A and B are shown apart, each in its own frame.
Chain A
Amino acid sequence: MELCRFGIKLFAIDPAAMDAKKFVPIFHSWIQKQAVEKHQLIDVHDYSHIHHGPGILLVGHEGNFSTEMGEGIPGLVYFRKVAAGTFEDSLRASLKAVLQAADLVEADPVLEGRARFRRDELLFISNDRLLAPNNSATFEGLKPTLGKVFGAKAGFTAVRAGTRDRLTIRVTGVAY
């Protein structure tokens, strides 16, 4: 399955540290420095007024970053838009991008070291209802590639059962 639209969400360890408005200048500074490798960063959009919405969005050509509040759980999410080769290549590139973004956030003096993210557990969100409908066949089909990228000991649990929802997989025991 050559999926190229999907997301990876890292959970914030301290949700209170994810003060959305503080991310506006942070993301603008990333654009000034074009701080994320292999990404053309374009613009920042403030969606913090939307309940459990994307929060602050950093738009890139290859993918978007945001301080997503999905289901009330703050985190740092990355949605890939452009293929970086095979699905495995794209997944590796996306993981690298979101981890780099997490490092940048954690090191940003504006947040005083309070914003930290879990690396051992994350969400994988498929974002293509044609190629990857939310069903068990897709789940099984994705697992081998997810295992290659997130580590042989990683555990996978499908969440969000609604067929209209995107297939979302909780990945635990992630090893890089």
Chain B
Amino acid sequence: MPTWEEKLADRIDPQLAAEIDKFETEITLRKQGKLDEKVFAETRLRRGCYGQRYDNGHRHDGIRSQELHYSTDLTKGPETLWDAPGMQRIKIPFGGLNPDQMDVLADLAEEYADGVLHVTTRQDFQYHFVHIDDTPAIMRRLAAVGITTREACGNSIRNVTACPLAGVCNTETFDVVPYARATAKFMLGHPDAQNFGRKFKIAFSGCRQEACGLVNMHDLGLIAVTRVENGRIRRGFEVYVGGGLGAVPHNAKLFEEFLPEEDLLPTTQAISRVFARLGEKKQRDRARIKFLIAKLGIEEFKRLVVEERQTLQADPRWTEYLDHAHQYTEKPLKPPTLLNGQRRPEGFDAWYATNVYRQKQAGYVVASITLPLGDLASWQMRELAGIARRFSGDSVRTTVEQNMVLRWVSETDLPDLYRDLMRIGLGAPGAGTIVDVTACPGTDTCKLGISSSRGLAGELRTRLAAKSYTLDEAVKNLRIKISGCFNSCGQHHIADMGFYGMSINVGNRKVPHFQVVLGGKWQDNAGAYGLPLVRVPSKRIPEVIDRVTDRYVRERAANESFQDFLKRVGKKDLRAMLEDLTHIPPYEVDPSFYSDWGDPREYTIGDMGVGECAGEVISVAQFALAAADGLVFQAQLHLESGDFPNADQLAYKAMLQAALSLVRVQWPEAPDEAGTTIQEFRQRFFETNIWGDRYAGSKFAQYLFIRHSAPPSHHTGDHAHRVVEEAQLFVDAVYRGHEILAERGTR
């Protein structure tokens, strides 16, 4: 039987081929029982092969937990069955694609996945429902068109992202693409980037003020800048380190105002070495570089990197791409033209208004293709490849808003392009508007998902699209981003209106909820993070959107931004406005609250078992938890007003109060005293692993322990912000802790 390995042998870069061969051997060894499941798990992750929901062989079907039967008990990682479908992530550096690559991506989605390509919030593609045995063939076929999955997951340097407008943007300093490409290539498989405790994300932006690469939320973010030296313009980068979203967002710190271009790669290498050497390895939740920088301080971190840089052996690859970078230009497919008086198809103007960007090169535009929930069918991708060949050539990009763009479209081609996009169902307007909701996979496929982010996103998209023509201009350009859990893959922190999923017990049932996070800033490279306001049942989130946007339209001052409006109104008032939406009708009155969007199953009810006596204790616990909630909210108000010491203190008290609520489940007379609460909480719930989040482990408990043992010696906005966020997550986790106790009936 022919194989892809034989067929594509002469079309695959030998290094990539060897890498795939190695992985295929590891698959064989694992099947023979000669490779440990944990080792195999890490090795497959580093090739982008991720686990998927239910891969432990169990799934709750709405009535009971079913065991999923496969032909083998073999595992591909702890609690991860070999035959269970998985996810394959595919790295697309700076989102850059050509039509040949698009064709292959389409073919693979059909043959090995479910016929759908999903664009992620980091410009990757993902296939879902892939069998691990098929992954070497997928990798070979991708490699034959210059795409790799290597280090798409795992503790490695992930996809290097960049602004999709790089090279054609009106406000960029210079085109960052050659630098993003060189960084991705240089660091791929680099020995200095193989021993990280956690992942490492790099982003490039051409300018400071736009959203572009979202530099502020990356481990390493680079903004193009120039300097005049001796009458000559020098290219370089403003460098930021230690940003990140995750459960608690961190603002990146300025590392260097001007890093000359020739120092980009050696500095990236030196940062990698310092991170690999000093970064946390055991405690995963403290292992991102942001924690190392917070621990060392930016000046000490910088000193270490500079010192490390001086020890590096010179590498010709550091600079050999620079000549090319300076000469780099994209060759347009067609000559520039202007859109003058041509007949425009129906719907064209609305699409043009939101989906077309005029390039700095006169006569050319960038056309955005709005992908609902970041998805497109394989046949659409194939057709899109054909459309790209006709209108834009090799200059296609994926975006962090889960869309795609065609660049270098000659303006007069726009009506024809629009007709073609409409023909394949990809001509919807609304790119980058409130309709264009971003969401992570959530409970659809992610093992960590708590609520249905895609279900909610789909619902909001449908509702908002229906009234998009009547929406006020001020609202149209707001952004909604949704994560299925606190981990922020949907980037909820940087949305005007963000949401992250959680579950809350009501009686003996669970209700899917979302925490409402308002006031994040997408512009200025993810310029500000929003703060949690209130948790609302999933089914009432559309009402949250309506109320907040209606009030913004009604009460905003002239040209007042959404963020300024929120600040002026204040959290207290905003929360009061949404308070009634937190109420949940009893199941008997409205069971729809007890299932999630797009999923008719009752929301994880099957495992519940609550004793009579627990009911009483629950009410006491809920009372205490409500008090903790109130303290977090007060802390947020202080944070908002710039009173950082009080924000910190109240956030700490909220954690103590929440911990005490758990302690009092087992010891009702426990005194309200910090030392005792910590000690009892540690002994009863932390050390016994009763409370540890299945995936987050002890992360949230550590927030309390660390704050208790090391109160801040001086108060900063950054620190207070972090402690308030941590307190919110800790309280959320204590809610889950109560659920665990209720489920076990071990109160």
Contact = CB atoms under 8 A, between A and B. Distances in A.
B68 A42 contact: yes
Contact of B129 (A5, A49, A64): A64
B600 A24 contact: yes
Interface string A108-136: 00000000000000000001111100000
Interface stretch (A9-17, A51-59, A92-100, A143-151): A51-59
B59 A43 contact: yes
B196 to A, nearest CB: 32
A51 B424 contact: yes
Interface stretch (B110-118, B255-263, B284-292, B487-495): B110-118
Interface of A: prevailing SS: loop
A52 B103 contact: no
B116 A47 contact: yes
B702 interface: no
Contact of B7 (A5, A57, A130): A130
B425 A81 contact: no
A137 interface: no
Interface stretch (B374-382, B546-554, B651-659): B374-382
B710 interface: no
Given A51-B424, A61-B83, A45 B114 contact: yes
A157 interface: no
B444 A45 contact: yes
B54 A40 contact: no
B602 to A, nearest CB: 11
B6 to A, nearest CB: 10
Interface string A155-173: 0000000001110000000
Contact of B59 (A42, A52, A127): A42
Given A51-B380, A51-B425, A64-B129, A43 B53 contact: yes
Contacts of B598: 24, 46
B613 interface: no
B110 A166 contact: yes
B372 to A, nearest CB: 4
B107 interface: yes
A31 interface: yes
A125 B107 CA distance: 13
B85 interface: yes
A70 B4 CA distance: 27
B116 A130 contact: no
Contact of A53 (B4, B115, B382, B445): B115
A49 B458 contact: yes
B3 A54 contact: no
Interface in B577-631: 598-601
A44 B84 CA distance: 14
Interface string A69-101: 010000000000100000000000000000000
Contacts of B425: 50-52
Contacts of A52: 377, 379-380, 425
Nearest to B108: A129
B677 to A, nearest CB: 42
Most chain B CB atoms below 10 A, which of A43, A57, A128, A164? A43
B83 A50 contact: no
Contact of A40 (B68, B379, B382, B458): B68
Nearest to B114: A57
Interface in B36-63: 53-54, 59, 61-63
Given A28-B600, A64-B114, A46 B59 contact: no
B116 A54 contact: yes
Contacts of A103: none
B54 A51 contact: no
Contact of A70 (B54, B128, B376, B379): B379
B316 interface: no
B600 A61 contact: no
Interface in A16-56: 24-25, 28, 31-32, 34, 40, 42-47, 49-54
Nearest to B3: A130
28 contacts: A28-B62, A28-B599, A28-B601, A32-B66, A42-B68, A45-B128, A46-B458, A46-B598, A47-B377, A49-B461, A50-B376, A51-B380, A51-B424, A52-B377, A52-B380, A53-B377, A54-B377, A57-B114, A59-B85, A59-B114, A59-B129, A61-B85, A127-B110, A129-B107, A129-B111, A130-B3, A130-B7, A164-B107
Kindly list the 6 A-B residue pairs having the minimum CB-CB distance in the complex, ordered from nearest. Answer: A51-B425, A53-B377, A49-B372, A25-B600, A32-B61, A50-B377
Given A42-B68, A42-B84, A47-B375, 14 more contacts: A28-B601, A34-B66, A42-B54, A43-B54, A46-B455, A49-B372, A50-B377, A53-B377, A53-B380, A59-B85, A130-B2, A130-B3, A164-B107, A164-B382
